Structure 1
Amino acid sequence: MKNTFLTLFLLFSLLTITLMFSNCASKKYENVAYLDKAVSEKTAKEPLPTLNIFSPKKLKKNFKKFDSKNEKLPVLIFVHGGNWNSGDKETYNFFGRNFAKKGIVTVVVGYTLSPKANYDDMAKQVSTAINWTKENIAEYNGNSDKIFLTGHSAGGHLIALSTMNPKYNIKDNTVSGLILNDAAGLDMYNFLQEEPPTSNSSYDTTWTKDPKIWKKASPIYYIDEQTPPIMLYLGKKTYESIKVSNRDFVDSLHHFQPNVEPILLNKSHIPMMVQYFFPWSNRYDEIIKFIKEN
């Protein structure tokens, strides 16, 4: 028992020290506005969501390998999950700081949750955040030509939909790649036919009860030759619905990106995100490798 407590104490101490150094190595720009009230009449009366930006305080030599010409750094936009009705960007400061420490300018996006917004409102906000980043990230030392998106759970759905559905007005070549982390909602059309939406988790608000809308909300139906390079993580112990939709998504994606296969991890849904708390996680190296290759 004493050894267990000693191990936990040492681990906590190590994490505390790591976070202290991460804070010193990065700068956080808080609550940056990216929306105006014209974006959505439905959410105009609510406080508008904002985003946080994390960038390295200093350009170390090992960062210059990303862009030797102008030393601008690649950009990673992160959208959190939470079943479309919960979550907060502030929870993910560790994600932004850890990537910034490794030389990636990281944007953590807040968005309006259900029932105050539906999936379409959320996707519009996420797409606006992407376009805002494209136009403004150079001011934060980011390379506007190397923008990658990542999202966990509902966030995976939102980054995929906002990028792949033409209605959200993301221009070709804006997004250099997508990293889906145990993404939910990739095929809501099939899922909701089996599990019709109710007031539980505000699904009737998020998705409506119209099957035509469910199909419009599903990224799987927008896969084509314009789809950016995709990297996927999938938990072996995640929800069955996520396993099914991810496998169907990959099967469809193979028509255009035949070499993509999900990276399977022996984790359940929440630990698929919690693992990023640890800056030594292999996920950081894998994602940075993907960024370099694309």
Structure 2
Amino acid sequence: MIFLRLLWQIPFALLILITVLISINEYAMARPSRRTKDISYTKNAASNSDAERHLLDVYAPRKASASAYPIVLFIHGGNWNSGSKNLYAFIGRRLAKQGVVAVIVNYRLSPAVKVPAMADDCAEAVRWTVQHISDYGGDSARIFVMGHSAGGGLAALLATDDQLFTKLGMGKNPVKGAILDDPAGLDMFDYLTKMEYPNDEQYLIPFGDNPALWRSMSPMYYVHAGGPPMLVYTGGRTYPSIASSSQRFRQRLQTVGVKHEFTVLAGKKHIGMVTQLFWKNNIIYHDLLKFVGAGL
């Protein structure tokens, strides 16, 4: 019995220690930044149940600056049916600490809506950012989008599909560049046409059964000459579908002449591609800060 009690107590004590260390680290990261939570970015929520999914958080540097800071709007992943901005405070803190105003967004999820509504939500979050980010020290002329997994696919759509903004009454696409972290959904038309992997039918819930919609929600087919520059990262041990679609996306960027950098991070799995952003010396942050002009 004593041995069994010890087995239970050791993990619990370790959990407490880890929690304390994370809290201390969070406090250390929080000091240089100012967080404003749960800002509604749309006035057109379909129902009260949508309110939480139409919220964003802003993380701004506390340090005064002679010029406005660049903006990175981060879109979480989660298979198009899960995820929350609340899980990614560490990205907001890290970016703000390094001279970037971070906007971390929620959007509606499947099965309540399909991917076109998710893309519309993210476009509305960008519009809110254009209109209000100067109140937080941000430069509305330097808005970059970033996302992991499904969020990476949505970020790529924002950067390539100008119609997402013209239908909001915006004269031009305000996205100046994209940072795609192990992006999913770059070519769902190809993916869902082939159905090569187990359980692929699950993606018919967020994407529907109409091939025309699969194509319309695939950034691959919107890449065009003169499009914004991109940083694209994939894990060396990520899912085969993400590895192959990212390579084809890279080829498309090359073909039309879009400025980009493509990096494979050896040994990284899909989840590790986002959890690595907990450390400020991560290569993605290193490249990102130069890409968005932080410190300029």
TM range, smaller chain:
0.7 to 0.9
- Listed as ranges, the matches of 1:133-282 within 5 Å are 133-169=129-165, 171-172=171-172, 174-195=174-195, 202-257=202-257, 260-266=260-266, 267-282=268-283
3-state SS of the aligned residue for 2:152?
helix
| Inter-partner Cα distance in structure 1 for 2:133 and 2:259 | 31
**TM-score using structure 2 length:** 0.85
**TM-score using structure 1 length:** 0.85
| Inter-partner Cα distance in structure 2 for 1:272 and 1:79 | 14
| Inter-partner Cα distance in structure 2 for 1:55 and 1:235 | 29
Q: For structure 1, list consecutive stretches of 5 or more residues without a partner in the other structure.
A: 1-7, 65-69
| Inter-partner Cα distance in structure 2 for 1:87 and 1:246 | 22
Specify which of 112, 115, 120 is matched with residue 124 of structure 1. Answer: 120
Match in the other structure for 2:285: 284
Alignment of 1:56 with 2:61, yes or no, is yes
| Inter-partner Cα distance in structure 2 for 1:242 and 1:197 | 12
What displacement does 1:260 show? 3.0
3-state SS of the aligned residue for 2:221?
helix
3-state SS of the aligned residue for 1:254?
helix
| Bigger mean CA deviation after superposition, 223-232 or 264-273 | 223-232
Q: Deviations for 1:169-214, whole angstroms, at most 9, x for unmatched residues?
A: 1653511110000000000000001119999785223111111111
3-state SS of the aligned residue for 2:255?
coil
| Bigger mean CA deviation after superposition, 278-287 or 243-252 | 278-287
Match in the other structure for 1:21: 28
Match in the other structure for 1:74: 70
**1:44 corresponds to which letter in structure 2?**
S
| Inter-partner Cα distance in structure 2 for 1:11 and 1:279 | 19
| Inter-partner Cα distance in structure 1 for 2:197 and 2:44 | 29
**1:242 corresponds to which letter in structure 2?**
I
What displacement does 1:282 show? 2.8
3-state SS of the aligned residue for 2:34?
strand
- Tell whether the 8 Å contact from 2:58 to 2:103 is kept in structure 1 after alignment: yes
3-state SS of the aligned residue for 1:289?
helix
| Equivalences, count | 275
What displacement does 1:278 show? 1.6
Specify which of 97, 101, 109 is matched with residue 101 of structure 1. Answer: 97
What displacement does 1:259 show? 5.7
| Inter-partner Cα distance in structure 1 for 2:257 and 2:210 | 31
| Inter-partner Cα distance in structure 1 for 2:38 and 2:126 | 16
Q: Residues 214 and 104 from structure 1, CA distance in 2 versus in 1: closer, same or farther, beyond 3 angstroms?
A: same
| Inter-partner Cα distance in structure 2 for 1:162 and 1:199 | 28
Identity %: 35
Q: Residues 75 and 201 from structure 1, CA distance in 2 versus in 1: closer, same or farther, beyond 3 angstroms?
A: farther
| Inter-partner Cα distance in structure 2 for 1:259 and 1:275 | 25
| Inter-partner Cα distance in structure 2 for 1:196 and 1:233 | 23
Q: Deviations for 1:87-116, whole angstroms, at most 9, x for unmatched residues?
A: 111000010011001110000000011001
Q: For structure 2, list consecutive stretches of 5 or more residues without a partner in the other structure.
A: 1-14
3-state SS of the aligned residue for 2:190?
helix
